[in-house]
């Protein structure tokens, strides 16, 4: 009995050491792992993004920004609307522009820019991708920015529609 238990324990230990083989897509690359956002993750994700944006802004010599509820409402509305339209673009299904959406949400400052993304990546991977592109980087480190709105919509399949809005 002890020998059988020893062999079972040994087999389990060896199985735990076996390398995991990632599932590969048609292109031979590993398929992305779905980043699931839970109901209780909203504040954690928003403040992690805010902290990361502010670190990047400090490094660029720009003042920090703060989350604005009206800009965040405009970002949330657009993230969901992009999902409905099934395309990442800056126009709403009703023809609205980013300026229209921030006004509707009650923001009375000046809109400085909007970054959007359709991805399965985390908010920090998305921020890194935005920082690699000159136009989206400009929105993030705009010297006159003082307010930020940030939100997302995640579909059942895991796809995430991210929207970041900056205002003065």
User: Which residues constitute the domain of residue 128?
Assistant: 41-58+65-167
Q: Which CATH number do you get for residue 133?
A: 3.40.33.10
pLDDT of residue 110: 98
- Over residues 93-144, the pLDDT tens digits come to 999 999 999 999 999 999 999 999 999 899 999 999 999 999 999 999 999 9
Residue 24 domain-assigned (yes or no):
no
Residue 48 domain-assigned (yes or no):
yes
> Helix, strand or coil for residue 37?
coil
Residue 127 domain-assigned (yes or no):
yes
Confidence at 30, pLDDT banded by 50, 70, 90: confident
**3-class SS string, 64-132:** CCEECHHHHHHHHHHHHHHHHHCCCCCCCCCCCCHHHHHHHCCCCCCEEEEEEEEECCCHHHHHHHHHH
Q: Is residue 68's pLDDT more than 60?
A: yes
Residue 47 domain-assigned (yes or no):
yes
pTM above 0.85, yes or no: no
Residues 65/166, Cβ–Cβ less than 8 Å? yes
Number of domains the chain is built from = 1
Residues 112/74, Cβ–Cβ less than 8 Å? no
pLDDT of residue 35: 80
Residue 119 domain-assigned (yes or no):
yes
151 vs 28: CA distance, rounded Å? 32
Residue 7 domain-assigned (yes or no):
no
For 47-83, letters b (16+ CB in 10 Å) and e give ebbbebbbebbeeeebeebebbebbbbbbbbbbbbbb
Q: Stretch 65-87: mean pLDDT, rounded? A: 97
If phi > 0 it is left, if psi is from -120 to 50 it is alpha, else beta; for residue 19 that is beta
Residue 53 domain-assigned (yes or no):
yes
Q: Is residue 21's pLDDT more than 70?
A: no
Q: Stretch 23-47: mean pLDDT, rounded? A: 83
Residue 145 domain-assigned (yes or no):
yes
Q: Is residue 85's pLDDT more than 80?
A: yes
pLDDT of residue 6: 47
């Amino acid at each position: 009995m002890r020998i059988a238990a020893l062999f079972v324990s040994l087999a389990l230990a060896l199985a735990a050491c076996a390398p995991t083989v990632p599932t590969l897509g048609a292109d031979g690359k590993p398929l992305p792992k779905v980043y699931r956002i839970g109901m209780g993750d909203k504040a954690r994700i928003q403040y992690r993004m805010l902290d990361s944006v502010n670190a990047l802004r400090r490094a660029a010599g720009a003042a920090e920004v703060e989350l604005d509820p009206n800009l965040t409402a405009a970002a949330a509305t657009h993230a969901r609307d992009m999902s409905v339209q099934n395309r990442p673009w800056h126009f709403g299904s009703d023809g609205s522009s980013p300026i229209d959406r921030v006004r509707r949400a009650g923001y009375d400052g000046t809109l400085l820019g909007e970054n959007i993304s359709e991805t399965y990546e985390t908010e920090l991977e998305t921020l890194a991708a935005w920082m690699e592109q000159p136009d989206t980087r400009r929105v993030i480190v705009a010297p006159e920015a003082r307010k930020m709105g940030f939100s997302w919509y995640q579909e059942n399949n895991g796809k995430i529609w991210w929207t970041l809005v900056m205002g003065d």
